Structure 1
Amino acid sequence: MKRPDPNSVKRIACIGAGTIGGGMIAQFLASGYDVTAQDPGPNARDSLERLLDQAWPVLEQIGLKEGASRDRLRFTSDIEEAVSAAEFVQESVPEDLELKVSIYEKLDELVPPEIVIGSSTSGFPMTEIQKRCKFPARTVVAHPVNPPYLIPLIEIVGGEKTDPAVLDWAAAFYKVVGKRVLRMEKEIYGFMINRLQIALFREALQMIAAGQATVAQIDDCLTHALGLRWACMGPFATFHLAAGDRGLGSFMDLHGSVEWRAPYVTETPLPDWTPELRERILQQAEEIIEGRTIPQMIEERNETVIGLLKLRETSRINAAKGE
């Protein structure tokens, strides 16, 4: 059984053409693929065209790849027609587990076993989705971030019966598409993006419910503070800079037993703070520090934040002018 070369795929089937499915369709078209979209909804085709009308100017600004064209899109309500001759299948049907299981059972019959099938599910583990498949080894979660044609990251992770070689194939394929691939080693509900996103949202809901904050205040905390920092570096790199010239290890020693276990953390219990965990964090942090000095990282952060502030102000001025 030989799979198509991930660098040479030409024909893609997209099952489901809603917000996420349509966004993936836009990305695939902009990357120069022939795409057959399938959705049984009565207004699905019109909705997809409206989404493409919105997405295509954005994709033109980002830069279309050779051969990119909306003319390479075909639409059908028939799933068998959609997957005929497809070299990859992207499933993006609504977040209903039984619906996904039944769709995968059908795709399993229609699609040759060497063809990889990826799911845009935002939370269900592939182990549950692939449970009625005869060929579960070729199934993988490929969870994009909305809107998929604009946000580059995609999370990929297999189920219990997924072949590791399929994860290698999917990682290579999505890199060709233009995605930044986050390959997860362990399967968890919600994957990484939504686990982090929901943890923050849960804290926001707690504060609003208690009358401690408003929606506007929460948004300000993100758009004018944390979001600006996180646009250029994540929490560990941020904390690396928070201890002056002493770095992440010093920050964790000073704050690990206090801030990260504070009484205002409302839900998820924190892991035991052990020397082994501290050392693991420091070793893994070297991957994001990449040999840069703290002054170098501060300069990069400052330039990025200044650029974002200027860009946001320009966007607001243009919006006020109606441009």
Structure 2
Amino acid sequence: MSDSGVADIRTVACIGAGVIGGGWAAYFLSRGLRVRAWDPAPDAADRLRRIVDAAWPALTDLGLADGADPGAIETLPTAADAVAGSGFVQESAPEDLELKRSLLAELAAAAGPGVVVASSTSGFPMSDMATAAADPSRLVVGHPFNPPYLIPLVEVVGGTETAPWATERAAAFYRHLGKSVIEMDRELPGFIANRLQEAIWREALHMVAAGEATPEQIDRSITDGPGLRWPVHGPCLTFHLAGGEGGMAHMLDHFGPSLKAPWTRLDAPELTSELRDDMVAGADVSAGGRPMADLVAERDRAVIAVRRAVAAARGRA
């Protein structure tokens, strides 16, 4: 489906007003859309307002769509009320499988004809979440990266009962709004990006648990090392370049034997109280006493600067 098929969507229902749901709401508002939100928490409206207000400076810096209005958001008393009249539904409830099943069934039943219901789940396959829905054909995964208003990636994949039109429409909608979309070929627990991120995270926990590295050293190893290459070339293209003129073939032939070296542990270490305390203390050292709001603002400024620098290097500035 072309982008013209989703250009008429002007209202999005955001179900869940936490960090992810609120981040989505801020992004949709920045694209000139109206948002109808629902969350069972009694302070949902105030929390959503704080998230949008905190995100708006970064979104303004990136560039707002015509008609973008941070006030074009309404918090409704029920999920069905939020879905009514919405052209797209983004569910961002907590990662609880039974909760997802019942909520997605409710949303699918309330959504109008042709309206896609996308889940922000970070790991559950849609085939597992859609089991209670009378009509699972419109249910898809639209997995963002935190914060959704700033990180462009969205991974889109349907379940066994998802209709092709639904995944196509979801992908087209996200692209229309400026997102970078991966349409996955098949369901995969944890999707693509989370699995790669989790591999690094497990290695980091092992090194801290074994006293081999501190959280600060691990963070610097990425921010001042391979992380500088990854905004331009991902891990596969990075290793292709490592092979010189011979490319990936030379790299694999030359360094292939080292893949058998016992460097990686991969299995998750036991999260002992000692390891937990070490990670918390290390994160506090890295934060340097700065409040969370300052760290978020720093991250947002840096990500914007990196995105602009990469776009300029690619000639897309």
Calculate the TM-score normalised by the size of structure 2: 0.81
Q: Distance in 2 between matches of 1:169 and 1:183?
A: 11
- 2:220 alignment partner, SS class: helix
Partner residue, 2:187: 187
The equivalences for 1:200-239 within 5 A come to 200-239=200-239
What is the CA distance between 1:50 and its match in structure 2?
A: 0.9
1:86 & 1:5 partners in 2: Cα distance?
15
- Whichever residue aligns with residue 73 of structure 1, its letter is I
Task: Give the aligned partner of residue 21 of structure 1.
Answer: 21
Q: Which residue of 1 aligns with 2:143?
A: 143
Matched, 1:128 2:128: yes
- The one-character-per-residue Cα deviations of 1:34-66 (angstroms, maximum 9, x if unpaired) are 110111101111111111111001000000011
Matched, 1:168 2:171: no
CA distance in 2, matches of 1:108, 1:120: 15
Counterpart of 1:8? 8
Distance in 1 between the 2:240 and 2:53 partners? 43
What SS does the corresponding residue of 1:103 show, helix, strand or coil? helix
Per-residue CA deviation, residues 219-255 of structure 1 (Å, 9 max, x unaligned), is: 1111110111112111121112212222111111111
1:299 aligns with none
Q: How does 1:56-205 map to 2 (within 5 A)?
A: 56-205=56-205
* Alignment check: 8 A CA contact 1:113 1:138 kept: no
Distance between the aligned counterparts of 1:23 and 1:259, measured in 2? 42
* Aligned residue number for residue 263 of structure 1: 262
What residue identity is the alignment partner of 2:261? Answer: A
Deviation for aligned residue 1:113? 4.4
Tell me if the contact between 1:122 and 1:194 (Cα under 8 Å) persists in the aligned partners.
yes
SS at match of 2:37: strand
Which has the larger Rg? 1
Question: 1:286-305 CA deviation, whole Å, 9 max, x = no partner?
Answer: xxxxxxxxxxxxxxxxxxxx
Contact 2:126/2:140 (<8 A) preserved? yes
Counterpart amino acid of 2:264? Answer: V
The whole-number CA distance in structure 2 between the counterparts of 1:233 and 1:67 is 35
SS of the residue aligned with 2:185?
coil
Query: Does the aligned pair in 2 maintain the 1:23–1:51 contact within 8 Å?
Result: yes
Give the Cα separation in 2 of the matches to 1:93 and 1:81: 16
2:288 corresponding residue in structure 1: none
**Whole-Å Cα distance in 1 between the matches of residues 155 and 90 of structure 2?**
14
Maintained 8 Å contact 1:113/1:135:
no
Which consecutive residues of structure 2, in runs of 5 or more, have no partner in the other structure? 268-304, 310-317
Amino acid across the alignment from 2:187: E
Q: CA deviation at 1:165?
A: 1.7
Distance in 1 of aligned mates of 2:150 and 2:176 = 16
Cα distance in 1 for residues equivalent to 2:110 and 2:244: 59
Q: Matched residues in 1 for 2:258 and 2:222: separation?
A: 19
Give the SS at the match of 1:70.
coil
Cα displacement string for residues 253-282 of structure 1 (whole angstroms, at most 9, x for unaligned residues): 1112x22222122137xxxxxxxxxxxxxx
Q: Partners in 1 of 2:250 and 2:216 — Cα distance?
A: 34
Q: How many residues align?
A: 267
Conserved? CA contact 1:29–1:72, under 8 Å: yes
Amino acid at match of 1:16: G
8 A contact 1:31–1:177 mirrored in 2 = yes
How much identity, in percent, do the aligned residues show?
Answer: 47
The AA in structure 2 aligned to 1:210 is A
User: Using the alignment, how far apart are the partners of 2:176 and 2:21 within structure 1?
Assistant: 18
1:237 match: secondary structure? helix
Alpha-carbon contact 1:23-1:147 (below 8 Å) kept = yes
RMSD: 1.5
Give, in angstroms, the shift of residue 112 of structure 1: 2.7
* 3-state SS, counterpart of residue 168 of structure 2: helix
Verify the 8 A CA contact 2:84 2:112 in the aligned structure 1.
no
Give CA-to-partner distance per residue, 1:190-219, whole Å, 9 cap, x none: 111110001010011111111111111101
Q: CA deviation at 1:77?
A: 2.9
Displacement, 1:109? 2.3
Amino acid at match of 1:264: W
Query: Who is 1:253 aligned against?
Result: 253
With 136-145 and 80-89 compared, the bigger mean Cα shift is at 80-89
Report the alpha carbon displacement of residue 71 of structure 1 after superposing the two structures with TM: 2.4
Q: Distance in 1 between matches of 2:118 and 2:173?
A: 11
Cα 1:209–1:41 shift into 2, 3 Å: same
